[in-house]
Structure 1
Amino acid sequence: MNSDTYTMEKYYKTKDIAEMLGVESVTVRKYSQSLEQFGYTFEKQKDRRVYKTSDLALLQQLKYMKERTGMSLNKTAEIVVMKHSEQKSDQATNTVSPISQEQQENGNLMQYDKQYINRSISLIIEQNERILSELEREKKEKEELHEEILKLHEKLNKQHEEQTERIDTFNQRFEQVMEEKKGKESIWKKIFGRN
């Protein structure tokens, strides 16, 4: 592994970090750019990033959390930087008791998992509320449509009854006219004796 020493702390090049993370150098650069986008800074020498052990730990957290949660790189980087900033703030005020790096990483990952789960639950609740609202709207539309169909059915029944009544009236009148005509013919037959 290639490494340069600039101070007492050990620094690594991008390809060294890539080997340790088991990714390509281009992936390390993408991870680094994403972390920088949310305010994290890496030391640079000759316009190239150099990585400290603490940077490696942060990149490991980013890689692990991204793989474990399936969140986008930017969203994962935002959470990792936010947690890193909180930890630095806590350490500066001496409110954090000394714990091992592994315990700290596990605690961070659990916190990330909690945040991811809470965010997922919130999204599911919002989605369910939208679905319920849509179902209520559809139910109301169906009830209104059902009412319209019943009104149309009643109207058609009424029209049918009126038509039936008109036809009956017409038939009765027709029979009367036919009877009257038949009666007139028989008078003339009697008078003129025609068959």
Structure 2
Amino acid sequence: MRNDIQPYERSFTSKEAAEQAGIATPTVRKYGQILERNGYEFFKDGDRRIFVQSDIDALIALRDTDNPLDDTAKILAHQQKERLESPTGTDISPSDTYSQLPQDPNQLKEILSYLANELAASREMNVQVVNEMNQLKTQVSRLKQDHHDLSSNISNSAQKTQRKIEELSKLQKSQYESMLEQEIEKNELLQTELQKMREEQQREWRAQNDYNKRLEEAIHKPKDKWDWLISLFRK
């Protein structure tokens, strides 16, 4: 079991380890699997690997090696095993932690003051984060309401537009029917006038024919000159 972590040593996630080693996060997972396959141990939080500086150094060694990865991983695992078995290894225990605390009350006071300031800053940051989250929730709620209002307005506008189109269609239909009736009436009046003109023309033709017949009869059967002239004007 690993016991080489140092007091207050920083730990890294896979993403942070990738940034430190200058490789991609999937490559960190790949190198981690190769190292474990060859006997290397990682600190674990469940199934999740926790990296410390020595692990990042191992990732960099795999990144820069020209040898097969498994061969390099075996060497790194062997080095880790030797380091863990070395008497200089550090076991984490409460007594070790307390023994490294300064004995000077002033230094302890400074440390406690620093920790108190850090805690206050952390709390202030947490409050700020909560406030920002509340503001974000408010903005999201407003955006949802705006979206709802916009959708309602669009729907209402579409309905109004549809009603106007239907009203215009009805009005156009009514106007068309009215114009059609007017045209029919005008056509009937025109037909009536034409019929009257035809009848008047026919009467004039008959009158002219009658006059021509009387004239012809008067020419072929003359009487005395006065009867002949008078017959011309008889109806």
TM-score class, shorter-chain normalisation, is 0.3 to 0.5
Q: Of the two structures, which has the highest relative contact order with CA contacts closer than 8 Å and spacing of 6 or more?
A: 2
Q: TM-score, normalised by structure 2?
A: 0.39
Q: TM-score, normalised by structure 1?
A: 0.47
Larger Cα Rg: Structure 1 or Structure 2? 2
